[in-house]
Amino acid sequence: MSEPLSYLESLLTQVLTEQKQQTAILNRMAEQQLLLIQALADESDEDPDALPSTYMDGSPCR
């Protein structure tokens, strides 16, 4: 009877370890996304309501 409990404990330990790794990865992703959002926000000093001077392909607006 002890062997099934030991096996179950081992499986639960493996699941917990995997969840901790996934949580760490998700936290790193969230931090990187926050840094990207901050960088993009700091990048532009232009008026967001101003009409664009170029199209998305880079050609000038007429």
- From the number of C-beta atoms within 10 Å of its C-beta (0-12, 13-18, 19+), residue 35 rates as exposed
Pairwise CA distance, residues 27 & 19, whole Å: 12
pTM: 0.60
Q: What's the pLDDT at 47? A: 76
Segment 32-55, tens digit of pLDDT = 999 999 988 877 667 778 888 889
Query: Does 1 have pLDDT greater than 60?
Result: no
Please, what is the average pLDDT of the chain? 90
